[in-house]
């Protein structure tokens, strides 16, 4: 009986502290994937990126060639990471932009990076 009470007390303490914890900041990255031309290629990119550690959301828009991903800020995803990852997938990227999700404005990139 004492073990059950102790377990319930610890569970309640963990739940209460999780409500008081600051949410972890999230980062976003946006860039153009030059060689992505088909819906199948976009799905390949999304599937691969969504499987990566800390990735919360991934979107590839084939029409505009924009790729947008939101991930936990404790991940070390930077421009070098994305360039090498996308080269392994068979794509080149340009117009790399990054920021803090919910804080920084997401730019409206065009194919010529303006």
pLDDT digits (tens, 9 = 90+) for 32-76: 998 899 999 999 999 999 999 999 999 999 999 999 999 999 998
Phi-psi region of 54 (alpha: psi -120 to 50; beta: other; left: phi over 0): left
Looking at the domain assignment, is residue 2 inside a domain? no
Q: What are 33's two structure tokens?
A: 């994937």
State the CATH number of the domain containing residue 65: 3.30.70.100
Q: What is the pLDDT of residue 8?
A: 47
> What is the domain range of residue 79?
26-100
Please tell me the total count of domains within the chain: 1
Looking at the domain assignment, is residue 109 inside a domain? no
Looking at the domain assignment, is residue 18 inside a domain? no
More confidently predicted of 112 and 15: 112
Which pTM value belongs to this model? 0.75
The SS3 assignment for 11 reads helix
The SS3 assignment for 66 reads strand
Looking at the domain assignment, is residue 42 inside a domain? yes
d(CA 112, CA 114): 6
Model confidence at 104, pLDDT cuts 50, 70, 90, reads: confident
d(CA 55, CA 83): 16
Looking at the domain assignment, is residue 49 inside a domain? yes
Looking at the domain assignment, is residue 12 inside a domain? no
């Amino acid at each position: 009986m004492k073990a059950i009470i102790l377990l319930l007390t610890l569970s309640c303490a963990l739940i209460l502290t999780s409500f008081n914890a600051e949410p972890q900041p999230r980062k976003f990255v946006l860039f153009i994937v030059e060689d992505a031309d088909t819906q199948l290629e976009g799905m390949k990119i999304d599937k691969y990126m969504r499987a990566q550690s800390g990735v919360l959301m991934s979107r590839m828009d084939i029409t505009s060639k924009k790729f947008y991903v939101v991930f936990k800020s404790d991940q070390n995803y930077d421009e070098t990471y994305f360039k090498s990852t996308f080269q392994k997938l068979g794509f080149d990227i340009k117009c790399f932009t990054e920021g803090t999700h919910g804080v920084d404005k997401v730019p409206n990139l065009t194919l010529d990076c303006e």
